[in-house]
Amino acid sequence: MTDFKAIVESSYDNGTPFWIFTSDYIFGMVPMDAGGARWKEVSYTFEEPDNPFFVTERSADLSFQFLMEEVEKGVSFYVEDLKIPMFKEFAITLEGKNGPEKMNAIITELVNNSTKYSANLPIIKNKDELGTLLSKV
């Protein structure tokens, strides 16, 4: 848990991360460099007794794909009113952009306009809300 806590606490050091939590897990994408070329994918599954914490590093392009999949398939299972078609429509507007631009744009969209996609999207919107994640582990 110490590693998870350190990642959460430093997650805004290189830009804006994406953090979302459900009743079963926490999922995050944290920029590894100021340019957003590399991202750290983080998950913490509450009911996993052996190894609840998972972390891997990927390029921005691959991270974008994983973030899209997480919202479309993972989060939509927990958030009943999540408007996936509208979310996909926004993602289409990012075609032609490079990986770092896509990651920053999708995170900015979800953080700043979360109510457009759901009345109950459990995301962290700023650094002051990080305590919410730490209180869950």
Cα–Cα distance, 120 to 70 (Å, whole number): 16
State if pTM tops 0.75.
Answer: yes
Distance of CA 104 to the CA centre of its chain: 11
For the segment 30-53, the average pLDDT, to the nearest whole number, is 95
SS (H, E, C) the chain: CHHHHHHHHCCCCCCCCEEEECCCEEEEEEECCCCCCEEEEEEEECCCCCCCEEEEEEEHHHHHHHHHHHHHHHHHHHCCCCCHHHHHHHHHCCCCCCHHHHHHHHHHHHHHCHHHHCCCCCECCCHHHHHHHHCCC
Task: Give pLDDT tens digits for 51-105.
Answer: 899 999 999 999 999 999 999 999 999 999 999 999 999 999 999 999 999 999 9
Closest C-alpha to 4, from 51, 67, 68, 71: 51
